[in-house]
Amino acid sequence: MEHEHSTFEPHIVAFVCNWCTYTGADLAGTSRLPMATHVRIVRLPCTGRIDPLFVLKAFERGADGVIVSGCHPGDCHYAEGNYHARRRFRLFKELLDFTGIDASRVTFSWVSASQGQKWAEVVNATTARIRALGPFSAYPRATAGAGEGGVA
């Protein structure tokens, strides 16, 4: 098992807001900061638009970890979107156990447009944590067979 994890390259999906974290991630890239290459970014207008179902769908489609990130509290370009997101994801994390997903597979962070370094740190820390946890297979296993006489 240890050997499996040492060669395991995790798939991580990041749902980020367009105005802060996406720009911060872009800055990290253009600054050529050393960063793990395991994260695929999905850009949305605001964290308030990130439905927890997107996170579940990512796991269902093979993600091993998910990052949700946006503007710092008080900096949301739609005023309160990130406050809604923070409340929503606090509850969502409590529900994750119920779905069989270890809550530590989901990272919630605030990264501003000027924080390329912080984005690189979030990516590297998340990649290291997911690599240590190993591949995620519980959700796809639980839903395997759905629609084939199972739960539709």
Among 27, 28, 46, 56, binds ligand FES (CB under 6 A): 46
Which residue stretch of 45-53, 60-68, 91-99, 139-147 sits at the interface with ligand FES (rule: CB under 6 A)?
45-53
Determine the 3-state secondary structure of 13 from DSSP: strand
Interactions with ligand FES, residue window 7-26 (CB under 6 A): 17, 19-20
d(CA 25, CA 61): 23
Interactions with ligand FES, residue window 54-113 (CB under 6 A): 70-71, 76-78, 81-82
Tell me the C-alpha to C-alpha distance, in Å, between residue 131 and each of 37, 70, 111, 123. 13, 24, 22, 12
Contact (Cβ atoms closer than 8 angstroms) between residue 94 and residue 119? no
User: Does 116 contact ligand FES by CB under 6 A?
Assistant: no
Burial 128-142 (b: 16+ CB within 10 A, else e): eebbebeebeebeee
Rounded to a whole number of angstroms, the minimum distance from the CB of residue 24 to ligand FES is 10
Residue 54 or 78 with smaller CB distance to ligand FES: 78
Rounded to a whole number of angstroms, the minimum distance from the CB of residue 18 to ligand FES is 7
Contact (Cβ atoms closer than 8 angstroms) between residue 54 and residue 89? no
User: Using CB under 6 A as the criterion, which residues of the chain lie in contact with ligand FES when the complex forms?
Assistant: 17, 19-20, 46-48, 70-71, 76-78, 81-82
